[in-house]
């Protein structure tokens, strides 16, 4: 009998604890996940950066929540032929997008010097190195000497290469970081962009120390570590770069035998069976030459044969694969920043976008929409930031974006909220001026042929 009463008491205590827990959730607006209060700007609760809104089985941090709201979410925005034409037109319109395959094979000394000096110029503001030391005149003089400008011949014959690893493209030929504020290690101002494997390059010169190439990918210029580049014949390189059939990485990131493959990387496919795929990966010989190596990949949802269909549903699905990813200025930390997020999403469809947010938002071809008429899966640009628009809920627009931080109202005025990752927020979050993101938006665009 005593044992029976013990069981009854335990069950009763458990039920009381459960009821108290649910009451506490209701009082704090946290029943079943996190409630998202969007009645006013001041009451928006984004402190945890993991806010949810309960709707059926989905939350605002689920892609299906937004996809289900889109009429004809699987309608093709452009087919493969139209995407090729879009890329061609974008390259024709924007002179900073360069078709490496048809790049001129020579360049004059004066022109190359001008290009290098435009990229590798001493910053006007004070900078600090990794040890907290000021980067003084002597330090920058050393960097300028390593540019190797004196050795440039009157006419430079181009070399061509392909990246064999996830690597970096930097302002100067050095790994030493450069910070605007001492200890502000999240923002290395010498970091221009990450470059992924199988990226073709035009190479102009080597640094004086022989460790770096000054080169160009289709949308950026800078200094690339020599060890991550394999030099080859241009025709042979593009024979493999343009290989069909091919796989595309559609996951956030895949590690293949130590080689990091980011979303959008295209890999030559030479065979497949019930066990998986046979692909070709670029490698660098001991002499620095381009070679290919056959690799086996298991069948995986991380890869797609060919490019993904360019639909709103797929744009949102691809975007949400980055949710929670750490912020990476210029591609630091093996992650990405706001414009790389947008670029990598669209790489899975075969669309080649510019690298920087202003170029994507203001310069790229596309269909432009008025404020207040933003379609889901479009991109929104405001000075210094670009975002993926998801849609509206209860009259409030929501965005998915890679962001360092933002501001919100508090009892003591504006409060900075550090994010440093990919998050979903309402478009009513604020900038340091007190204006909402919505107020700062200057353009909404879909990357489609006009």
State residue 183's pLDDT score: 87
pLDDT tens digits, one per residue of 302-348: 999 999 999 999 999 999 999 999 999 999 999 999 999 999 999 99
pLDDT at 26 over 90: no
Range in 17-26, 108-117, 130-139 the model is least confident about: 17-26
Q: What is the mean pLDDT of residues 267-288?
A: 96
Q: How far is CA 199 from CA 63, 261, 279, 282, in A?
A: 30, 11, 16, 10
Residue 20's φ and ψ, nearest 5 degrees, are -60, -40
Strand partners, 283: 291
- CATH ID of 98-234, from 2.40.30.10, 3.50.50.60, 3.30.460.10, 2.30.30.40: 2.30.30.40
With cut-offs at 50, 70 and 90, classify the pLDDT of residue 18.
low
CA dist 359 and 233 (Å) reads: 31
pLDDT at 110 over 70: yes
Sheet holding 303-305, edge to edge: 290-298, 276-284, 266-273, 246-249, 303-305
With cut-offs at 50, 70 and 90, classify the pLDDT of residue 59.
confident
Strand partners, 407: 416, 430
Task: Please tell me the CATH code under which domain 243-308 is placed.
Answer: 2.30.30
> What's the per-residue H, E or C state across the chain?
CHHHHHHHHHHHHHHHHHHHHHHHHHHCCCCCCCCCCCCCCCCCCCCCCCCCCCECCECCCCHHHHHCCCCCCCCCCECHHHHHHHHHHHHHHCCCCCCHHHCCCEEEHHHHHHHHHHHCCCCCCCCECCCCCECCHHHHHHHHHHCCHHHCCCEEECEEEEECCCEEEECCCCCCCCECCCCCCCCCCCEEEEECCCCEEEEEEECCCCCEEEEEECCEEEEEEHHHEEEECHHHHHHHHCCCCEEEECCCEEEECCEEEECCCEEEEEEEECCEEEEEEEEECCCCEEEEEEEEEECCCCEEECCCCECHHHHHHHHHCCCCCEECHHHHHHCECHHHHHHHHHHCCCCCCCCCHHHHHHHCCCEEECCCCCCCCCEEEECCEEEEEEEEECCEEEEEEEEEEEEEEECCEEEEEEEEEEEEEECCCECCCCCEHHHHCCEEEECCCC
- Please name which of 40, 82, 109, 145 lies closest in space to residue 309, comparing C-alpha atoms: 82
% of residues, the chain, pLDDT over 70: 87
pLDDT tens digits, one per residue of 145-187: 999 999 999 999 999 999 999 999 999 999 999 999 998 999 9
State residue 249's pLDDT score: 98
With cut-offs at 50, 70 and 90, classify the pLDDT of residue 372.
confident
β-pairing, 367-369 with 303-305? unpaired
- Please name which of 350, 323, 406 lies closest in space to residue 90, comparing C-alpha atoms: 350
pTM here is: 0.87
Task: Please tell me the CATH code under which domain 63-77+310-446 is placed.
Answer: 3.90.1720.10
Burial class (CB in 10 A: 0-12, 13-18, 19+), 402: buried
- Please name which of 310, 307, 305, 308 lies closest in space to residue 75, comparing C-alpha atoms: 310
- Please name which of 400, 383, 381, 399 lies closest in space to residue 319, comparing C-alpha atoms: 400
pLDDT at 356 over 60: yes
CA dist 253 and 422 (Å) reads: 15
pLDDT at 32 over 80: no
Q: How far is CA 430 from CA 93, 102, 287, 426, 434, in A?
A: 34, 44, 53, 10, 6
Residue 254's φ and ψ, nearest 5 degrees, are -130, 140
State residue 13's pLDDT score: 55
């Amino acid at each position: 009998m005593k044992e029976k009463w013990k069981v009854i008491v335990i069950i009763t205590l458990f039920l009381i604890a459960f009821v108290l827990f649910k009451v506490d959730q209701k009082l704090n607006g946290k029943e079943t996940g996190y409630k998202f209060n969007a009645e006013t700007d001041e009451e928006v609760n984004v402190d945890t950066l993991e806010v949810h809104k309960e709707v059926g089985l989905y939350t605002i941090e689920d892609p299906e929540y937004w996809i289900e709201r889109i009429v004809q979410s699987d309608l093709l925005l452009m087919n493969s032929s139209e995407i090729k034409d879009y890329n061609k037109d974008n390259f024709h319109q924007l002179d900073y997008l360069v078709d490496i395959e048809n790049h001129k094979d020579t360049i004059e000394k004066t022109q190359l010097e001008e290009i290098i000096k435009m990229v590798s110029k001493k910053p006007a503001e004070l900078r600090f190195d990794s040890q907290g030391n000021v980067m003084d005149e002597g330090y920058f003089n050393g960097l300028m000497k390593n540019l190797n400008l004196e050795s440039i011949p009157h006419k430079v014959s181009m070399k061509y290469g392909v990246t064999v690893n996830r690597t970096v493209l930097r302002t100067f030929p050095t790994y030493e970081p450069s910070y605007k504020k001492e200890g502000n290690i999240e923002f290395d101002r010498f970091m221009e962009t990450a470059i992924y494997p199988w990226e073709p390059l035009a190479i102009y010169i080597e640094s004086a120390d022989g460790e770096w190439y000054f080169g160009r990918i289709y949308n950026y210029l800078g200094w690339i570590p020599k060890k991550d580049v394999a030099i080859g014949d241009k025709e042979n390189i593009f024979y493999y770069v343009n290989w069909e059939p091919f796989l595309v990485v559609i996951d956030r990131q895949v590690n293949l035998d130590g080689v990091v493959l980011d979303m959008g990387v295209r890999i030559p496919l030479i065979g497949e069976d019930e066990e998986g795929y046979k692909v070709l990966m670029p490698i660098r010989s001991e002499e620095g030459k381009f070679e290919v190596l056959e690799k086996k990949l298991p069948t995986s949802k991380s890869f797609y044969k060919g490019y993904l269909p360019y639909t709103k549903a797929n744009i949102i699905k691809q975007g949400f694969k980055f949710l929670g990813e750490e912020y990476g200025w210029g591609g630091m930390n093996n992650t990405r920043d706001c414009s790389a997020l947008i670029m990598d999403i669209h790489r899975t469809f075969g669309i080649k976008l510019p690298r920087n947010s202003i170029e994507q938002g203001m310069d790229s071809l596309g269909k432009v929409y008025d404020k207040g008429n933003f379609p889901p899966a479009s991109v929104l640009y405001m000075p210094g930031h670009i975002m993926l628009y998801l849609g509206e809920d209860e009259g409030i627009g929501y965005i998915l974006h890679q962001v360092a931080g933002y501001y919100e109202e508090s009892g003591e005025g504006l409060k900075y909220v550090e994010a440093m990752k990919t998050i979903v927020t309402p478009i009513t979050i604020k900038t340091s001026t007190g204006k909402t993101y919505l107020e700062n938006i200057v353009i909404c665009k879909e990357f489609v042929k006009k």
